[in-house]
Amino acid sequence: MTIRPPVEYAVAAERYLAASGLGTGSRRVYRIALDTWAWALADRPAPVGPERRRARPPVLPLALLDRPDAPARLQAAAAHRAATAGTRTLNREISTLRAAAAWWLTQGWITTDPTTALRPQALPAPGPTDPAPLTPEQLRALFALRAPLREQTLWHLLHESGATIEAALALDVDHLDLPQRRSHPSTTPLHWGTGTARLLPLLIAGRTAGPLFLTDRRAPATTPARDRCPHTARARLSYRRAAELLTTRTRPLTPDATGWTLRQLRPH
């Protein structure tokens, strides 16, 4: 049976998400990003703060993306978002729309790609007070620590992939393409090296779904399903806890006993 092309942008977005292979948590993030572009296509500012989650995006025909003014409208929206959202947030939203548009194009639902002029924004340079990335000698000392497998895997991944901490902690087990040493193309693109490749199979042994990095304890009953491991019932590791673990473990390695930060793991 032939499936008719969707008329509405929102329906096309849901079909893309359903076919993407993304985990529940990632689909939620991608849906929010695609909703943000819906407001832009309607020439209306996207709600901010708590209102953004509750607001219903405008109902739009998917054919708007084929209009000659669609690229310019999206570029103007990106410029506005650059002034109101962080660079990483904007880049994630651009990547999401480009991936969806490419998929819609292959389905024949649109005839042109209106996102070709959208490019990720350069990340701001570190300020003079930002801590410097770890040196090769410091990294060797870090990776030589007798730290748990979870921490060593996260530290290697952050350093080898250059990923943001948020992107690394948002990974689910089914996002991984272990043979290719990368995340699946439908997710935030990450690539890693030999250190991470050696540790990941050990970390996920016996798990096929759920968050990649887990807490030590069972998740509270109020934890959303997307942030709970279906095999162990443990929760997704938080940014705050991951930062505490690194700082605590590395205090003996710093002269002032302050330890290192997660952002220092990213390469130069």
Residues 251-263 pLDDT 10s = 999 888 889 999 8
Using CA atoms, how far apart are residues 172 and 137, in angstroms rounded to an integer? 31
Does the pLDDT at position 35 exceed 60?
A: yes
143-163 b/e (C-beta count within 10 Å ≥ 16 → b)? eeeebeebbbbbbbbbbbbeb
- Select from 245, 72, 233 the least CA-distant residue to 80: 72
Segment 115-142 shows an average pLDDT of: 78
Q: At CA 93, angle to CA 35 and CA 80, rounded to 5?
A: 85
Query: What mean pLDDT value characterizes the chain?
Result: 86
Checking if the pLDDT of 49 tops 60, the result is no
- Please say if the pLDDT value at position 127 is more than 60: no
More confident residue, 192 or 89: 192
Q: Mean of the pLDDT values across residues 4-20?
A: 89
pLDDT of residue 129 exceeding 70: no
Q: Give the Å distances, CA to CA, from 39 to 45, 48, 80, 181, 240.
A: 6, 12, 12, 36, 32
Average pLDDT estimate for 77-94: 78
Could you read off the pLDDT of 131-183 as tens digits, one per residue? 789 999 999 999 999 999 999 999 999 999 988 888 899 899 999 999 999 99
> Beta strand pairing status for 182-183 and 214-218?
unpaired
pLDDT of residue 158: 94
pLDDT > 60? residue 126: no
Distances (CA, A) of 158 to 123, 192, 196, 246: 17, 9, 9, 12
- Per-residue pLDDT of 199-249, as tens digits, reads 999 999 999 999 999 999 898 888 888 889 999 999 999 888 999 999 999
Q: What is the pLDDT of residue 1?
A: 43
Separation CA 235–CA 228 (nearest Å): 4
What's the pLDDT score for residue 239?
86
In this prediction, residue 125 has a pLDDT band, given cuts at 50, 70 and 90, of low
